[in-house]
Structure 1
Amino acid sequence: MQNIKIVPEGDASLLIQFEQVISPEVNQKIAAAAKLIRAQQISGIIDMIPTYCSLLINYNPLVISYEALYKRVESIVRMESHSEAGKKKVWEIPVVYGGTYGPDLGAIAEHAGISEEEVIKIHSSKDYLIYMLGFLPGFTYLGGLDEKIHTPRLASPRVRIPAGSVGIGGSQTGIYPMDSPGGWQLMGMTPVKTYDPDRETPILVEAGDYIRFVPVTEEKYLEIKAAVEAGTYEVTVHEGED
């Protein structure tokens, strides 16, 4: 268990601390450990919350004690298999960039010293690892943004950012799952609902998955949006080895 610590976090939570760096390798260990723990179906575990460098386990102390849970978790994270590569799940998220959908695209391009078209090309050219979900239900913290388009947050956050907005905040990019205040620079919008409380699985993606942004025209955006509202749209998903 090199560089891994297990500590109590309050009276009903256990925290597994991995290496304190933000990296795909650490994230893979966290996601794999969560998968192994979930597979054990340990009675008393309420939920698990992965973050950049740790995995928080909330449990019912009336069902399982901290000591008993510690032993179970310790034996699981000792398994070498939790660091092995697994299948890479990539969600294709259509995005209409610029204009009223991405009012800060010009500012992002100006900050980078490149054209808006080049910003779009860079932003949509790779798969982004979902390190964790937070801030809002289904809000994705994505890693791997090209340094060329790193952009500071707005000096004055907006009071309302529409659901589906795709933005950049410093070295990260992400999708706003619902209307909310926010300070990220907005570059586009997706019609896909990453959070829908009426859906059987409200949050579309999971930490450890990947997102690939696919540029679309406004016409295509509106077409997909109508299909999403009608419940007939299915997000394209690719799976393969890491």
Structure 2
Amino acid sequence: MSEVLAGSITAFGECAVRVELGTGIEESVFHRVAAFTEALQAHPFAGLIESVPAFTTVTVFYDPVRVAEACFFKKTPYHAVAAHLQHLLQTLQQAEHRPAETVEIPVCYGGAHGPDLEEVARLNGLTPDEVIEIHAGGEYLVYMIGFAPGFPYLGGLSDRIAAPRRAEPRLRIPVGSVGIAGQQTGVYPMETPGGWQLIGRTPLTLFRPDRNPPSLLQAGHIVRFRPITEREFAAWEEESR
């Protein structure tokens, strides 16, 4: 059964508004965020620049001059935008969930590709093989793309292999590294600094600026990880050159 979306609206600086649609990293909240984002795309207001969905919020950026002109200066830009968004919240019915696209990501676990695999196993009282089995046996929802272009924040990690961030972040994380931070897992699409516990690496390219869209993964996708060997990893890399 559909439900009216509840949410709170607050100013976020002079040119943005933040719509809060939940308080926790939950799949139900994700679907509310997605439904509101789609509704705003279908019913934009004059002066809308972009909307940025996150775990529990949608931040709406706007041009205050265009907004003021569109409402003939009868309202402040913030109040005009807030009224439009409030109307969406009051009338929007949560759309039925569409089947999510599943993306399989091959991962070479451990060794040089996953230098923190043994530490994650130690922290959880498991063997490295058990960590791999649990990680590769899960299904992960892409909640959002952020931090770096194409970086997916994935929910659904088992509590059995959750692990804190490293006390000292690395200055360079290899492209394709698969990591764990708290109860999330993710994949580094490019070489960046980072503090996640690295348990493996994929030869799959997640971000290509020449592709449309440039990010292989999008919010709402389901990710499954498939273990591969060192030889398969090397062969995949050679073929992609």
Give the TM interval when normalised to the shorter protein.
0.7 to 0.9
Matched, 1:56 2:59: yes
**Partner Cα separation in structure 2 for residue 161 and residue 27 of structure 1:** 28
Matches within 5 A, 1:54-133: 54-64=57-67, 65-82=77-94, 84-133=96-145
Q: Runs of 5+ in structure 2 lacking a partner?
A: 68-76
Identity of aligned residues (%): 39
**Partner Cα separation in structure 1 for residue 230 and residue 42 of structure 2:** 43
Map of 2:15 onto structure 1: 12
Query: What is the TM-score when the length of structure 1 is the normalising length?
Result: 0.86
Residues 84 and 74 of structure 1: is their aligned pair in 2 closer, same or farther, counting only changes over 3 Å? farther
Say what the alpha-carbon RMSD is for the aligned residues: 2.0
* Alpha-carbon displacement from aligned partner over 1:92-136 (angstroms, at most 9, x marks no partner): 111111111111111111222222111111001121112222221
**Partner Cα separation in structure 2 for residue 104 and residue 46 of structure 1:** 41
Amino acid corresponding to residue 199 of structure 1 in structure 2: R
| Count of residue correspondences | 229
Amino acid corresponding to residue 192 of structure 1 in structure 2: L
Q: Give how far 1:2 is off.
A: 6.4
Which of 143, 166, 170 pairs up with 1:158? 170
Residues 27 and 2 of structure 1: is their aligned pair in 2 closer, same or farther, counting only changes over 3 Å? closer
* Alpha-carbon displacement from aligned partner over 1:202-227 (angstroms, at most 9, x marks no partner): 22222222211111222222333344
Structure with max Cα Rg: 2
SS of equivalent residue, structure 2 residue 66: coil
Map of 2:39 onto structure 1: 36
Residues 226 and 75 of structure 1: is their aligned pair in 2 closer, same or farther, counting only changes over 3 Å? farther
Amino acid corresponding to residue 71 of structure 1 in structure 2: A
SS of equivalent residue, structure 2 residue 112: coil
Q: Runs of 5+ in structure 1 lacking a partner?
A: 230-242
Matched, 1:136 2:148: yes
Which of 211, 227, 239 pairs up with 1:215? 227
Larger RCO (CA under 8 A, 6+ residues apart): 1
Matched, 1:180 2:192: yes
Which ranges of 4 or more aligned residues in structure 1 deviate by more than 6 Å?
Answer: none
**Partner Cα separation in structure 1 for residue 185 and residue 117 of structure 2:** 13
1:15–1:55 Cα contact (<8 Å) kept: yes
Query: What is the TM-score when the length of structure 2 is the normalising length?
Result: 0.86
Amino acid corresponding to residue 73 of structure 1 in structure 2: L
